[in-house]
Structure 1
Amino acid sequence: MEHPLYLQWIARFPASTVHLALNQYSSPESSVAVHRAQHRLHLLSSELFPLLPSQVQTATPSPLSALNVRPGQTLARFCLRPSLGFQSDTVVKIEVDAYVRQAYSSPNFPEALSQLRAGRPFRGRNATFLPFSSTLRRCPSSLER
């Protein structure tokens, strides 16, 4: 996108034109559920469940932003009528602290986590109870029949 010929071509559009970049400048935050599960699993073991790297640039380069190029974001909208333009109020927002607080608020989670980290099996009131931090499914429900 930063090639001089492309910049010349894109500069011919009116200044009111918004260009949506769906490439390396786009946000990787596709689903709150995926990130919530990732951070909860990371609490259990940072070695077994490392955080996935985010290799996306945080902003478009200045030649592109000067030409009104906006990075694509999951659930962003561009309203044509009424002419409200680019709307980012529904964009996926990753809130790591909220996911960690939610995990710690689960029953017996802090005790089970400390015992797991100490290398001892969980021996609470119900020794067969296994606290899951997510309900991720293996395959879509439409395929299960």
Structure 2
Amino acid sequence: MFAVRERLEALAARLAAERATAADVAALRALLEQGREATERQDLPRVAELNSALHLRILQISGNPWLSSIAKALYLHVQWVFRLGAAERAPHSWAEHIQLVDAIESGDGDRAERAALAHLEAASAAAYENAEGGYGVAGGHRPQA
């Protein structure tokens, strides 16, 4: 799942940086604020929903309907994986989201792609750590991408 996300979300971030309007960035910033508030309240189901909403909005901003279509099915699984470690991961995830939105707002596609990849690397590491801790990977073996 993370190997696919790396490809899809890095491309989405690059395209979003090239195409985002001021209104698009304002919508992303509103999601960031809602995510911060939900994280502070420890409303973890809401944090997971907002995590997916932010990523799906970036996909939409990318302007590529194929990219958005492919990713929508994936996000049902992403939300489930995020919930497994949300208590520990949420504050870090939202800090990474701020960097991603800042990069998109800058209009720099390379910077946005790097921010997306850094975020996914951290999310992947956290998910594997949770899995190895007994959250669903039999025998503690790391799944192959």
Q: Which has the higher Rg, Structure 1 or Structure 2?
A: 1
Task: Identify, as 1 or 2, the structure richer in helix.
Answer: 2
Q: What TM-score results when the alignment is normalised by the length of structure 2? A: 0.21
Task: Identify, as 1 or 2, the structure richer in strand.
Answer: 1
